[in-house]
Amino acid sequence: MAGTTSSTTSSVARARRWLGHNWLRIYGAIAFAYLFLPIAYIAVFSFNNGSKSNITWRGFTTANWTNPCGAPDVCEALGNSLRIGVVATVLSTVLGTMVAFALGRHRFRGRGPTNLLIFLPMATPEVVLAASLLTLFLNFGADLGFTTIVIAHVMFCISFVVVAVKARIASLDPRLEQAAMDLYANEIQAFRRVTLPLVAPGIAGAALLAFSLSFDDYIITSFTSGAVNTFPKFVYVSAQRGIPAQAYVIGTFMFALALTIVLGAEILRSRRARARA
């Protein structure tokens, strides 16, 4: 009996030690499983032979990948989302970068309130923001459509661009620009050859973030789109009768593309760091 008790106590102690050494790994595995389970479901059901309804598994097929436009209106909605995302990203990145440089490099009257105003679209609930924009457009007599969606997306994407680029600007050493001007470079040359290349990774990251926010936005888009259909609206409407497998194909492809870009940027950064070392 004593030997059995001692063996049990020893097993419990080993289990506690093992948990003490590996609890962080276990937590990380559970967290990643929680995050990627919906993505895995989408990837698996993109190969489902579900025809119009894609709720239950009905067999494996690659026809959805060879014909991603097989579902009615899915590619039209995707094209609208891509065009809106590109235009909104370009405009918000350009305007947000200029605002970030103004706030990060210059002191002017009203700088504090401007900083506060930049954060307001990020802190405001989307449904409130969407209702306000809809009221504004209707009061001005604007026709809801592509243009109103772009204006709405630029408005809330600028805040994220400013925050991302401003953080990059704050990490720069201003003495680099001073050294460039000491070597007879004017302000434009110093900005183009020194400042801009250093800030470029932050601008690129802000642009990717803006595109992601614009592409997958539903609430604001649904209020300001009128008859224009976007990919998130298509998915929401289709969910009532079963999202077609082609939408899962597009979602899986977009996720794989984003993952490839992130991994490629990380690999490039690591190689440059090793080269500098």
Q: How many CA atoms lie within 13 A of 143 on its CB side?
A: 4
pLDDT tens for the chain, 277 residues long, are 545 566 667 777 777 888 778 888 888 899 989 988 988 988 888 888 876 667 778 888 888 898 888 888 889 999 999 999 999 999 999 999 999 988 887 777 877 788 888 888 888 888 999 999 999 999 998 899 999 999 999 999 999 999 999 988 888 877 777 777 767 777 778 777 888 888 888 899 899 999 999 998 999 999 999 889 999 999 888 877 778 888 899 989 988 988 888 888 888 888 887 887 7
In the chain the domains, ranked by start, together with CATH numbers, are 2-63 (no CATH), 72-243 (1.10.3720.10)
Cβ distance 154 to 92 under 8 Å? yes
Q: How far apart are the first and last CA of the chain?
A: 62
pTM as predicted: 0.83
d(Cα 189, Cα 179) in Å, to the nearest integer? 12
Both tokens of residue 106?
Answer: 């210059």
Phi, psi of 48 (to 5 degrees): -80, 135
Residues 139 and 142: their CA atoms lie apart, in Å, by 8
Count of Cβ atoms closer than 10 Å to residue 179 Cβ = 13
Phi and psi of 60, rounded to 5°?
Answer: -85, 140
> 108 — alpha (psi -120 to 50), left (phi > 0) or beta?
beta
Largest Cα separation within the chain, whole Å, is 88
Residue with tokens 């679209």: 121
Q: Which residue has the tokens 């500098």?
A: 276
In the chain, the amino acid numbered 81 is S
